[in-house]
Structure 1
Amino acid sequence: MLASPCMTDLLRPAPPDKKTDRALRARRGAARLRLLAWPVYFGVLAWYVDENGLPYANDVVFCCLIGALVAASVHSGRGLRGSLLVLRDWVPVMAVVWVYSLLRGYGAHTPWPVRFEPQLSIDTFLGGGETWTVRLQEWLYHPGRPRWYDYAGVAVYMSHFFVIFVTLAVLWRRDHGRFRQLLAGYVLLTYVGFATYILYPADPPWLTSLQGHMPDVTRVVQDLLNSSGMPRAGSIFENGSQFANDVAAMPSLHAAYPMLLAVFFWRTANRPARVLLAAYPPAMAFVLVYGAEHFIIDVLVGWAYAAGVWYALDRFLRARRAKRERRAGETSGEPAGKPAGA
């Protein structure tokens, strides 16, 4: 029995609705974007590293982080809205750090004399008649024949340009409140250090040595980076940059940032994390002193600045939180600190 024309029409699939078709195409496009987000990001990053070496400059590091956060946002399905949130929170941070970098370069031209005598005297006393930079290089450094610990030292030194920013990016994704707290500590510590550079310009050991005030020493990290063959790997040490400031040695922010991370995370860290937090500041300190980048006193002052900044900021945040709770208690008619309904 043949189906009638009416029955044939009923059995034929209905033509897709245009609105539904557009929605399906949009979903397929979004799915493709989610799959491509990370491959595109890592492809661009690999191209940059192949052409220019490791991204160490603040602006490039921030661009890499922003790109990673945008890729993570697209991959998770947040799309344009998530990407705009990334730009909203991170472009101002990038601007603040860029302004610091610019001011740091201008800070090399201060009306005050550059100091080296107090740092040299303190380090000579601590070294029993010779600075620890000289002693460590006499014992450990072999020009032209780097050892494993030299390469490890380069990795520790270069972590200064990545670790705190990556940590901020992870907190931004997982705990926005903690992100704001660490960011406040980082910015405050950075600008307090900058103010000290202006008021107390200080020579590092390698520059003190070049001026003939102490025995010859080598900038170990620079030496290894320049001989690595990696494109532009050593350019962070080039002179003449508007961001360069060879007399920004007191305090050592290279030493201060690891200490800031240690005091920031210590209360909530588990035992393995505390081992890393406790090891990072002395490891960085060793590299800075051994590599002739800072005197010991620069490192100790950097640690003190980090602890002091976080202590002051933590007290401020606690006081503000207590004030907010008191106001909330007054609004609800409950005594301050007493749970509602108790």
Structure 2
Amino acid sequence: MTDLRAAPARPGPGDAPTGSHASGLARARNAPTGAGRLRLLAWPGYLLALGWYLLTYGLPYSNDMVFVWLIGALIAGAAHGGGGWRGWLLVLRDWVPVMAVIWTYSLLRGYGAHTPWPVRYQPQLDIDTFLGGGETWTVRLQHWLYTPGLPHWYDYAAVAVYMSHFFVVFIVLAVLWRRHHTRFRQLLALYLTLTFVGFATYILYPADPPWLTAQEGHMPVHTRVVWDVLNGSGLPRAASVFENGSEFANDVAAMPSLHAAYPMMLALYFWPRASRPVRVLLAAYPAAMAFTLVYGGEHFIVDIVVGWAYAALICWGVPRLFGRRAARTAPTSAAEPAPTPTDPRR
């Protein structure tokens, strides 16, 4: 007679697995699939590729490369979040058109350097000379603070603030795209409107910046601080932003200063909902950019003030324009009170 107590029982189809069999099934279930491996490798792969690019070529300051790496980060985020192909397509749907618009603006901005109107410098120079009490603040600040060939800590800080112009708005837009798509569309509308209104002004009122005005002999010679510090830092890729002869370059696109306008746009847009610490940053960023632009010889004070005015007008006007348009296109039935239901007992 067979001893049934000594025979190991085989699990039936409905029995729960035990022992090594159970652990093997658990390992099979937990083994990463193709999609799981993609999720795990998305961010490490992106960061490795970005690190290689930075070490090989330096920081990507051109619009096309900034957008390539920004879109790459959003795709990595979509892959990590498990969005799959749908998440990738959403990234491309929303961001490739934006990249195309900004690239078109950059190209048109370069062509805008050749206009039939004379380039202006005297009104801006007169206003700045008046504000400086007989000397422009660019010349005064550099006389007090700048030592050619021996940059101080605040010179490096000025470089960081100036170069943030090429990244900050896009990074903020990317964060809003991930977290609050409605606000992403709102800020994008403000950014594009401000950009193209600025471009129209460049066409109608070409204007020299202080460094170019000095090169032409109309004001005391001074240093273009950001360019000088970057050249001395061994970062040729970064300094190439200022190279002449580029199809995207427009040295007479100084009025208004979009370097000043974008920080003010961000401050005005986020201010109503911002906490007190965030408001400190929102106020400090336009102020730091304004100081950098004047100290570095990039813009006259009046260029900055006009940029701030453009940002204020657009932040005030664009939401109202879209609000009125939405009110006109809303169905009239939505505004009418719903009819009172008939009492079935009558």
> TM-score under structure 1 normalisation?
0.89
Measured after TM superposition, the shift of residue 24 of structure 1 is 7.0
1:120-159 CA-to-partner distances (Å, cap 9, x unmatched) read 0000000000000000000000001111100111110010
1:289-322 CA-to-partner distances (Å, cap 9, x unmatched) read 0000000000000000000111111212333454
Q: 4+ residue runs of structure 1 moved beyond 4 angstroms? A: 7-11, 23-27, 321-326
Q: Distance in 1 between matches of 2:311 and 2:11?
A: 78
Matched residue of 1:232: which SS?
helix
1:144-190 CA-to-partner distances (Å, cap 9, x unmatched) read 11111001111100100000000000000011000000000000000
Indicate yes or no: 2:301 matched with 1:296. yes
Q: Distance in 2 between matches of 1:251 and 1:328?
A: 45
Measured after TM superposition, the shift of residue 332 of structure 1 is 5.3
Read off the aligned partner of 2:309 and give its amino acid letter.
A
Question: What corresponds to 1:256 in structure 2?
Answer: 261
Q: Distance in 2 between matches of 1:26 and 1:93?
A: 39
Alignment of 1:215-294 (within 5 A): 215-294=220-299
Residue 149 of structure 2 contacts residue 232 of structure 2 at CA under 8 Å; is this kept in 1? Answer: no
Residue 51 of structure 1 contacts residue 231 of structure 1 at CA under 8 Å; is this kept in 2? Answer: no
Alignment of 1:99-178 (within 5 A): 99-178=104-183
Matched residue of 1:266: which SS?
helix
Measured after TM superposition, the shift of residue 29 of structure 1 is 1.3
| Structure 2: segments with no counterpart, 5+ residues | 18-27, 340-346
Query: Structure 1 pair 274/311, CA: closer, same or farther in 2 (3 Å)?
Result: same
Query: Structure 1 pair 272/323, CA: closer, same or farther in 2 (3 Å)?
Result: farther
Indicate yes or no: 2:54 matched with 1:49. yes
Read off the aligned partner of 1:117 and give its amino acid letter.
Q
Query: Structure 1 pair 26/141, CA: closer, same or farther in 2 (3 Å)?
Result: same
Query: Structure 1 pair 25/84, CA: closer, same or farther in 2 (3 Å)?
Result: farther
Residue 123 of structure 1 contacts residue 130 of structure 1 at CA under 8 Å; is this kept in 2? Answer: yes
Query: Structure 1 pair 282/248, CA: closer, same or farther in 2 (3 Å)?
Result: same
Q: Distance in 1 between matches of 2:284 and 2:333?
A: 42
| Structure 1: segments with no counterpart, 5+ residues | 14-22, 335-342
Measured after TM superposition, the shift of residue 329 of structure 1 is 3.0
Residue 107 of structure 2 contacts residue 248 of structure 2 at CA under 8 Å; is this kept in 1? Answer: yes
Question: What corresponds to 1:339 in structure 2?
Answer: none
Measured after TM superposition, the shift of residue 272 of structure 1 is 0.6
Measured after TM superposition, the shift of residue 333 of structure 1 is 3.3
Question: What corresponds to 2:25 in structure 1?
Answer: none
Alignment of 1:194-213 (within 5 A): 194-213=199-218
Match of residue 184, structure 2, among 168, 179, 184: 179
Alignment of 1:7-26 (within 5 A): none
Read off the aligned partner of 2:230 and give its amino acid letter.
L
Q: Distance in 1 between matches of 2:64 and 2:31?
A: 34
Q: What is the aligned residue count?
A: 322
> TM-score under structure 2 normalisation?
0.88
Indicate yes or no: 2:89 matched with 1:84. yes
Query: Structure 1 pair 52/231, CA: closer, same or farther in 2 (3 Å)?
Result: farther
Indicate yes or no: 2:76 matched with 1:71. yes
- Identity over aligned residues, as a percent? 68
Residue 114 of structure 1 contacts residue 203 of structure 1 at CA under 8 Å; is this kept in 2? Answer: yes
Residue 260 of structure 1 contacts residue 310 of structure 1 at CA under 8 Å; is this kept in 2? Answer: yes
Q: Larger Rg: 1 or 2?
A: 2
Read off the aligned partner of 1:145 and give its amino acid letter.
L
